[in-house]
Amino acid sequence: MSQKINGVKGMNDLLPGELGGDMAPVEVWQHVERTTRELFARFGYGEIRTPMVEDTALFVRSVGEETDIVGKEMYTFEDKGGRSLSLRPEGTAPAVRAFIEHSVANQEPLTRWYYIGPMFRYERMKTGRYRQFFQIGAEAIGSREAAQDVELMDMVVQLLEALGLKEVSLNLNSLGDDACRPAYHQKLVEYLTAHREELCGDCQRRLETNPMRVLDCKNEKCQAVVQAAPNILQFLCEPCKAHFDEVKRKLDALGVKYVVNPKIVRGLDYYTRTTFEFIAAHPALGTASTVGGGGRYDKLLKGLGGPDLPAVGFGLGLDRLTLLLKESGQKFSTPPDVFIAVADEGSGDAAFALASKLRREGLKVEFDTRGGSLKSQMKRADKTKARYTLVLGQAERESGKGQLKRMADGQQFPVALSEIVQTVRSAPPA
């Protein structure tokens, strides 16, 4: 007997219906994706699709060599041509690379894109955090105005509302820029150095390489230390402070609620000024309560060899959103309109042809290609939760008429086989 081969740890199968176990069924994913595409189109964002594999240097230069993502989590390999390639760990850098490579700046002054797809990080897994995970992201390139930051946040808020996810709060911060961040950086290092022995091992390393990441550590000891750390908002220069005030003013004007949280720093080196996170208060996510976040990255394009253009973007964890929706009790799969059962052996081809015809006309039709007894077919109809069943036998074929049975209450409707579509669509609900 051949040995069974299982999927790669941390990379999940998405199955339909109730087959998915701990993962949300694929119908939930499809619902989120459809809702995202419809909503983002209303905001004027077009979809892009970039490769899942990029030159490793793209992420080293954008995300930051000293970040956990690049230092410990990327799936990096050498291809047969000796090139160092990596599975993408996030979506912003590939989008920016595509923007630069295709000279998009020469074609339009303001570019707004979104993407939906898998990302990869080798990290410790927990609820809603996997090694292949899926992101919804959006990038707006070409505007340095606070209105652009707020438009993106408003887009996420409207998406969460459209999905019926209410217990998610917007946390907002500013990281300043090159004019004001160095002074804060110095004070933060001085404070953390004085408390070095109270920090976890990872944060002791971050203190040397990326001290602002200590603010984001989930370790309880580290959280206790950073409670009294210097507040970056007190170090903002006048332009950065004015930008942050304008972001808050415009959020207020839209009626978008938010919490100012100076500990929101994000995990990537390219952020400047506005940063934000959407945090869910739901036990389904355990400690992985952040469902997404983003911020402004005005220097990234120039740093990757592109034009000196401002930009802002975000990423949402699709895995986490679907887990929240799975727990919400909402229904996402639609049952078949009609289940066609075969009453006798001679009616199989006619029933098969009728199913095909009804599908062409827009109905969702179930037909058991295995055949079997009428009793077994009706059990299958019950399992599929079909709205109606139609039993097709010799009498129905010869008369061109049959009986539609509404499964919810057993009521039957006489119907001409040529008028099944109209009857199903016009029949009153149970």
Integer CA distances (angstroms), 229 to 67, 157, 191, 226, 307, in order? 21, 30, 7, 5, 36
* Domain pair 26-180+236-328 / 338-426, same fold: no
Residue 46: strand pairing partners: 113
Q: What is 338-426's CATH superfamily?
A: Anticodon-binding domain (3.40.50.800)
For the domain made up of 26-180+236-328, give the CATH fold: BirA Bifunctional Protein; domain 2 (3.30.930)
Q: Which residues are annotated as a binding site for L-histidine?
A: 90-92, 121, 135, 139, 266, 270-271
Domain boundaries, the chain: 26-180+236-328, 338-426
**Stretch (H or E) spanning 366:** strand 365-367
Give the orientation angle of helix 26-42 with respect to helix 318-328, to 10 degrees.
110
Closest CA to 301 of 96, 95, 119: 96
What is the Cα–Cα distance from 226 to 221, expressed in whole angstroms? 9
Per-residue pLDDT tens digits of the chain, which is 430 residues long? 789 999 999 999 999 887 767 788 999 999 999 999 999 999 999 999 999 999 999 999 888 766 667 777 899 999 999 999 999 999 999 999 999 999 999 999 999 999 999 999 998 877 678 999 999 999 999 999 999 999 999 999 999 999 999 889 999 999 999 999 899 989 988 888 888 888 898 888 888 878 888 887 878 888 888 888 899 999 999 999 999 999 999 999 999 999 999 988 876 667 899 999 999 877 667 655 889 999 999 999 999 999 999 999 999 999 999 999 988 878 888 899 999 999 998 999 999 999 999 999 999 999 999 999 999 999 999 999 999 999 999 999 999 999 999 999 999 989 999 999 999 988 765 5
Q: Which residues are annotated as a binding site?
A: 90-92, 121, 135, 139, 266, 270-271
Long-range CB contacts (within 8 A, 24+) of 199-208:
199/225, 202/68
